[in-house]
């Protein structure tokens, strides 16, 4: 079907760098609040953007375990960085949220429901791994018996401008997880930045009617075969230069065989149980609920906050904490991400974005931990399966 | 709920700087509400009027550093239904617990003209080392929002929301970029009890550990990482010898690096 712009879903067009602001204008005119990458506090984070000039133009990052440095590029690339400390989770599943309030009047409690009316988001620069992470959160929040109304409202109207990664970060491993770097679904428009001495353009894949309609306001031309090929080459190059890799063959069975493995003790000696890995992970969704009252007992509020399986209170039940040791907590987290998640939701809980590696203060690396357990089987240093240590 | 009488609140001071008591006065807007809900029976920082005990709730600031105070705290305990300690001095011995690592007589001879007039204990110790404490509110100083939370929880018979996990979780919730990862600045946040809402990292500084050890602090792993970032043994000792130097996990870590 033809959109008003004369473009169809599936078309590939080219927008010049100089016209990127027009895309922002078009989104703003349609009432979206634009959220995307910007430089702040020595990192590329996600926040509200006023214009395309707020994007991290000419910036990139260097990433390793427990290490992130913002760096200048020697060109003016707009999307020349890998994912940073924030994820879209902040916007669709906010870190702190008041669920309801209550007031005491005439000796009775009255519940005041929260009515959140936000303009729809437009997310700019969403990477393939992040689209997979959103799809995983959709399964968690939208597809079960209980739909999360806050997530639904924030997520369903969101306009997605995705970006194919022109380079992988130092801790990326989407190629191992089959979650990138090429954007394949879940976008309205998907951009690939082509930049060299002669040109600075975006090749745009049109993913939805809504995306096609938006392009009616932005100057574009059809993409040539050479330009389409350039996109393929760029993405293939990114895929071949992942900072990390993870062997995922029968990973569920592998981890189920090794609930008791000396490597868990080893990682527990290093792990700070600080929870950073879960906070930065784009698929981790756990929350805690806090009830607060005012001094006079006239008002009460219920708050929901991001929680972590690395805290002790997370498994507090009458009688004690289920996962008291650091070993039990790290094992729970990693086994959930890579194995039990598959049983629970039908996919891996890890999209290979590398955030947990970069933002772990002591560089604990999920790919290394898997490798150590896997290699112990072939070197014979693994305890025999099923045998308690 | 209508109460027959307002609960009686007392605020006690031991060896401390008064900063935590001031957090209560600092509540400004909420102070009237506090005064409306409790009878402030003993609070010399705010008023000379003294109502005799027993008290429903005693807030205790400061550490035990003299023989007289070691006795006084028992009297207060006996006169209090609930006893809540507030601040690093009361919960860990405070900065004055640095004396615990040295010979106090040496300090006396250096600091005072006539050391013989000074009657002091060899150590500065937390209140819980002397009497049973019902709840400890951490911080140097305490966070006034948390103090109001503890008072509200006390008044309404519920458990206060003062989570004992790391500062990192507060840091990430507010969206602060980690100073250790992005700048290489040593930070005590991963081993420190939450409560300050990750104040220092939000000003691009490492955490100083004001709220003491978190629930399961892996200080050894963090120190090893600090040293990779360039911190010396001495830096590590100094970092753990702050306001919470005598808190168990921090004390052991600084001692480990002194050998
Ligand atoms: S993991 Fe893949 S998709 Fe995600 S930022 Fe890295 S290269 Fe891009
Ligand atoms: S487990 Fe780590 S690499 Fe995997 S999705 Fe979460 S943060 Fe990214
Ligand atoms: S793996 Fe790293 S980020 Fe996660 S809890 Fe342990 S030390 Fe913190
Ligand atoms: S800045 Fe400090 S408190 Fe914040 S996440 Fe990093 S290590 Fe933790």
Query: What is the DSSP secondary-structure string of B83-145?
Result: EEEEHHHHHH--GGGGGGGS-HHHHHHHH-S-GGG----S--B-GGGTS--SEEE--SS--HH
Judgement on whether residues A64 and A205 belong to the same structural domain of the protein: yes
According to DSSP H, which parts of chain A are helical?
20-29, 89-92, 128-142, 149-156, 174-177, 209-214, 225-239, 251-257, 262-270, 276-280, 326-335, 341-345, 355-358, 366-379
Judgement on whether residues A265 and A149 belong to the same structural domain of the protein: no
Name the nearest CA neighbour of A332 among A248, A255, A246: A255
Mutate to test the pocket of ligand 1, among A181, A241, A245 (most ligand atoms within 8 A of CB): A181
Could you count the other beta carbons within 10 Å of the beta carbon of residue A270?
Answer: 18
Distance CA B14, CA B234 (A): 31
Last residue of a domain, one of A240, A274, A305: A240
The tokens for B188 are: 């005590």
Q: Do the chains contact at A95 and B218, CB–CB below 8 Å?
A: no
* Closest CA in chain A for residue B153: A293
- From the list A272, A292, A305, the residue facing B190 with the nearest CB is A272
Distance CA A312, CA A281 (A): 19
**What residues of chain B lie within 8 A of the CB of A311, using their CB?**
163, 165, 169, 215
Q: Which atom of ligand 3 is nearest to the CA of A275?
A: 5
Omega prior to B54 cis, within 30 of 0: yes
Name the nearest CA neighbour of B120 among B128, B112, B131: B112
In a domain, A297, yes or no: yes
Residue nearest (by alpha carbon) to ligand 3 atom 6: A271
| Beta carbon of A360 within 6 Å of any ligand 3 atom | yes
Name the nearest CA neighbour of B248 among B100, B45, B30: B100
Residue segments in chain A with a per-residue pLDDT below the cut of 70: 1-5, 382-389
Judgement on whether residues A354 and A315 belong to the same structural domain of the protein: yes
| Beta carbon of B187 within 6 Å of any ligand 4 atom | yes
- From the list A68, A85, A272, the residue facing B221 with the nearest CB is A272
**What residues of chain A lie within 8 A of the CB of B157, using their CB?**
none
Distance CA B128, CA B133 (A): 6
Is B149 within 8 Å of chain A by CB? yes
Chain A closest-CA separation from residue B92 CA (Å) = 21
| Beta carbon of B88 within 6 Å of any ligand 4 atom | no
Is A150 within 8 Å of chain B by CB? no
Q: Do the chains contact at A90 and B175, CB–CB below 8 Å?
A: yes
Name the nearest CA neighbour of B142 among B230, B77, B212: B212
- Domain region containing A263: 251-379
Q: CB–CB of B134/B154 below 8 Å?
A: no
Judgement on whether residues A59 and A183 belong to the same structural domain of the protein: yes
In a domain, A385, yes or no: no
Is A106 within 8 Å of chain B by CB? no
Architecture of the domain defined by B8-155? 3-Layer(aba) Sandwich (3.40)
In a domain, A261, yes or no: yes
SS3 label, residue A318: coil
Chains A and B: how many Cβ contacts under 8 Å?
135
Q: What is the pLDDT of residue B34?
A: 87
B220-230 as b/e: b if 16+ CB within 10 A? bbbbebbeebe
User: Could you tell me the pTM of the whole model?
Assistant: 0.95
Distance CA A275, CA A330 (A): 10
Judgement on whether residues A197 and A264 belong to the same structural domain of the protein: no
Is B232 within 8 Å of chain A by CB? no
| Beta carbon of B199 within 6 Å of any ligand 4 atom | no
Is B165 within 8 Å of chain A by CB? yes
Give the mean pLDDT per block of 10 residues along chain B (259 residues): 76 93 85 87 74 89 96 95 97 96 87 84 96 97 94 91 97 98 98 97 98 98 97 97 98 94
SS3 label, residue A310: coil
In a domain, A68, yes or no: yes
Q: Do the chains contact at B180 and A361, CB–CB below 8 Å?
A: yes
Judgement on whether residues A146 and A262 belong to the same structural domain of the protein: no
Domain ranges for chain B, please list them. Answer: 8-155, 167-258
Judgement on whether residues A25 and A96 belong to the same structural domain of the protein: yes
Last residue of a domain, one of A206, A240, A274: A240
Question: Which residue in the block uniquely carries the two structure tokens 């020697």?
Answer: A74
> How many domains, chain A?
2
Q: In Å, how far are A222, A274, B166 from B194, measured between CA atoms?
A: 55, 11, 5
Q: In Å, how far are A204, A353, B33, B100 from A188, measured between CA atoms?
A: 10, 21, 52, 64
Judgement on whether residues A288 and A222 belong to the same structural domain of the protein: no
Q: Which atom of ligand 4 is nearest to the CA of B171?
A: 4
Judgement on whether residues A34 and A178 belong to the same structural domain of the protein: yes
In a domain, A69, yes or no: yes
Judgement on whether residues A30 and A146 belong to the same structural domain of the protein: yes
| Beta carbon of A243 within 6 Å of any ligand 1 atom | no
Residues near B49 by beta carbon (within 8 Å), at least 6 away in sequence: none
In a domain, A276, yes or no: yes
Q: Do the chains contact at B161 and A276, CB–CB below 8 Å?
A: no
Question: Which residue in the block uniquely carries the two structure tokens 């921090």?
Answer: B250
Judgement on whether residues A324 and A300 belong to the same structural domain of the protein: yes
**What residues of chain B lie within 8 A of the CB of A354, using their CB?**
none
A 231-290 residues with CB < 8 A to B: 269-276, 279-280, 290
Q: In Å, how far are A17, A187, A195, A211, A300 from A215, measured between CA atoms?
A: 14, 14, 21, 7, 48
Q: In Å, how far are A184, B9, B42, B58 from B51, measured between CA atoms?
A: 73, 10, 6, 13
Judgement on whether residues A236 and A259 belong to the same structural domain of the protein: no
**What residues of chain B lie within 8 A of the CB of A42, using their CB?**
177, 182-183
Q: Which residues pair with A191 in a beta bridge?
A: A163, A204
Angle A376-A377-A378 from CA coordinates, rounded to 5°: 95
Distance CA A159, CA A125 (A): 11
Mutate to test the pocket of ligand 3, among B190, B218, B225 (most ligand atoms within 8 A of CB): B190
Q: What is the pLDDT of residue B72?
A: 94
Q: Do the chains contact at A361 and B190, CB–CB below 8 Å?
A: yes
Last residue of a domain, one of A182, A211, A240: A240
In a domain, A388, yes or no: no
Distance CA A98, CA B185 (A): 34
In a domain, A317, yes or no: yes
Instruction: Output the CA A38–ligand 4 centroid distance in Å.
Output: 21
Distance CA A262, CA A255 (A): 13
Q: What is the DSSP string of A205-245?
A: EE-SHHHHHHGGGS--EEPPHHHHHHHHHHHHHHHTT-S--
């Amino acid at each position: 079907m033809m959109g008003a712009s004369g473009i169809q879903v599936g078309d590939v067009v080219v927008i010049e760098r100089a016209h990127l602001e027009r895309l922002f204008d078009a989104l703003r005119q349609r009432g979206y609040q634009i959220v995307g990458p910007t430089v702040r506090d020595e990192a590329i984070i996600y926040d509200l953007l006023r214009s395309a000039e707020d994007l991290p133009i000419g910036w990139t990052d260097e990433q390793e375990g427990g290490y992130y440095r913002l760096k200048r590029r020697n060109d003016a690339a707009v999307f020349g960085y890998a994912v940073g400390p924030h994820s879209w989770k902040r916007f669709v599943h906010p870190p702190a949220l008041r669920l309801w309030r209550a007031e005491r009047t005439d000796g009775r409690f009255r519940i005041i429901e929260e009515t959140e009316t936000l303009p729809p988001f437009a997310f700019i620069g969403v990477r393939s791994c992040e689209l997979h992470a959103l799809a995983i959160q959709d399964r968690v929040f939208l597809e079960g018996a209980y739909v999360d109304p806050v997530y639904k409202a924030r997520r369903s109207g969101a306009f997605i401008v995705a970006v194919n990664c022109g380079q992988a970060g130092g801790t990326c491993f989407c190629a191992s997880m089959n979650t990138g770097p090429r954007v394949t679904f879940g976008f309205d428009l998907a951009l690939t930045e082509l930049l060299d001495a002669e040109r600075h353009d975006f090749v745009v894949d049109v993913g939805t009617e809504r995306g096609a309609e938006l392009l009616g306001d932005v100057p574009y031309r059809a993409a040539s075969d050479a330009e389409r090929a350039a996109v393929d080459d760029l993405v293939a190059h990114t895929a071949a230069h992942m900072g990390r890799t993870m062997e995922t063959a029968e990973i569920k069975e592998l981890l189920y065989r090794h609930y008791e493995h000396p490597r868990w003790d080893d990682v527990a000696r290093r792990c700070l149980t600080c929870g950073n890995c879960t906070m930065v992970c784009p698929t981790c969704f756990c929350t805690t609920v806090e009830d607060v009252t005012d001094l006079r007992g006239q008002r009460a509020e219920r708050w929901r906050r991001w929680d972590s399986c690395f805290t002790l209170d997370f498994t507090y039940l009458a009688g004690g904490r289920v996962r008291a040791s650091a070993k039990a907590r790290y094992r729970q987290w990693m086994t959930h991400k890579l194995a039990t998640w598959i049983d629970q939701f039908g996919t891996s809980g890890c999209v290979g974005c590398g955030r947990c590696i970069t933002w772990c203060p002591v560089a604990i690396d999920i790919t290394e931990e898997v490798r150590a357990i896997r290699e112990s089987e072939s070197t014979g240093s693994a305890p025999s399966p099923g045998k308690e240590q | 709920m209508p109460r027959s009488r307002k609960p009686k609140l007392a605020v006690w001071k031991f060896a401390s700087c008064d900063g935590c008591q001031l957090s209560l006065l600092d509540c400004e807007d909420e102070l009237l509400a506090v005064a409306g809900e409790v009878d402030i029976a003993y609070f010399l920082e705010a008023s000379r009027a003294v109502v005799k005990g027993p008290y429903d709730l005693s807030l205790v600031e400061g550490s035990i550093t003299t023989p007289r105070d070691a006795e006084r705290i028992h009297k207060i305990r006996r006169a209090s239904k609930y006893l809540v300690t507030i601040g690093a001095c009361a919960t860990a011995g405070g900065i004055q617990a640095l004396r615990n690592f040295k010979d106090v007589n040496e300090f006396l001879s250096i600091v005072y003209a006539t050391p013989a007039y000074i009657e002091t204990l060899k150590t500065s110790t937390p209140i819980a080392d002397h009497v049973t404490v019902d709840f400890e509110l951490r911080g140097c100083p305490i966070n006034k929002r948390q103090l109001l939370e503890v008072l509200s929880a006390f008044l309404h018979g519920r458990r206060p929301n003062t989570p004992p996990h790391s500062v990192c979780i507060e840091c990430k919730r507010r969206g602060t970029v980690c100073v250790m990862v992005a700048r290489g600045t040593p930070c005590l946040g991963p081993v420190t009890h939450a409560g300050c809402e990750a104040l220092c990292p939000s000003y691009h500084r490492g955490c100083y550990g004001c709220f003491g050890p978190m629930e399961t602090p892996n200080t050894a792993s963090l120190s090893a990482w600090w040293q990779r970032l360039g911190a010396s043994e001495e830096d590590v000792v100094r970092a753990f010898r702050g306001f919470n130097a005598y808190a168990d996990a921090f004390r052991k870590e600084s001692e480990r690096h002194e050998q």
